[in-house]
Each structure stands twice: as structure tokens, then as C-alpha cells.
Amino acid sequence: MTKEVVSTTKAPAAIGPYSQGIVTDSLVFVSGQLPIDPATGVMPEGIKDQARQSLTNVKAILEAAGTSLDKVVKATCFLSDIGYFAEFNEVYAEFFPGQGAPARSAVGVAALPKAAKCEIEVIAVR
């Protein structure tokens, strides 16, 4: 089995000792993406804008790995307040519409790095 690091400037750089993503022979693992705009280093304020930015970052890493959102098989979504669930879902559905959306877990957590409201990680096929 091969293992390659994925890196792109179209998503924020890792803020710790981890890779943006790892590619194996058939799978792509995208590390949790905070809603940081890679061009400015700034996070939007509201949960919808944060969800959109996190998913945009995920998309950029997937594309750098040679795959896409429609190849995502599992998503794990962390919310700093489970009360954001409905608004988060509205944006999530823009990126994963209709039937065939990936398997998913959404978890309320006590806190996220940089006081983000959400963080999203995915596994995709190549």
C-alpha cells in the first residue's frame, strides 16, 4: 500500500503536526478542516458561512488529491454547539445534495481550535 501526503495552498495550512490529507491506493483521508479562508487567514462569523468555508476547504484538498466531493463516502462533522445542526445541514446539503450523500456523523463538542463553530473531516474514494 502506498501513502502520499496531500497539500494545497487552496486550503489552510495545517495548524499542528498533521497533513491536510493522506492518499492511499484507493482512499483519501482529509483532516478536519476549520473554516479558515486560506487567502486571508480569517474565519467568517456565522455558522452557515463557517460551514461553507470548511466544506470549500475540504473540496480543495479532495481536488488536490485527484478526487471530488461526489466520491466522499464518510463525513464527520464537529459542531461547537449542537444547536447549529439545522443551519449547518442547510449548507451541507448545498455540497451534498439529494440521494447518494455520504454516510455522516455530526457531533456536538465542547470547543474547537481557534473557537471555530464547525470542523469537517471526510474519507473519499479515488
CATH number, domain containing residue 98? 3.30.1330.40
Cα–Cα distance for residue pair 91/41, rounded to 1 Å:
21
Dig out the grid coordinates for 111 from the structure. Answer: 470547543
Strand partners, 119: 78
The contacts found for 11-19 with CB under 8 angstroms, 24 or more apart, are: 11/38, 11/57, 11/58, 11/60, 11/61, 11/64, 12/36, 12/37, 12/38, 12/41, 12/57, 13/38, 15/113, 15/114
How many separate domains does the chain show? 1
Using 50 as the pLDDT threshold, list the residues of the chain that sit under it: none
Residues 2-24 pLDDT 10s: 999 999 999 999 989 999 999 99
pLDDT given at position 31: 98
Q: How many CB atoms lie within 10 A of CB 43?
A: 18
What does the pLDDT read at residue 69?
98
Domain that includes residue 15, residue range: 4-125
CA distance 107 to 23: 25
- Predicted pLDDT of residue 99: 86
CB 103 within 8 A of CB 73: yes
Report how far residue 75's alpha carbon sits from residue 122's, in angstroms, rounded to the nearest whole number: 4
Sign of CA dihedral 44, 34, 24, 75: negative
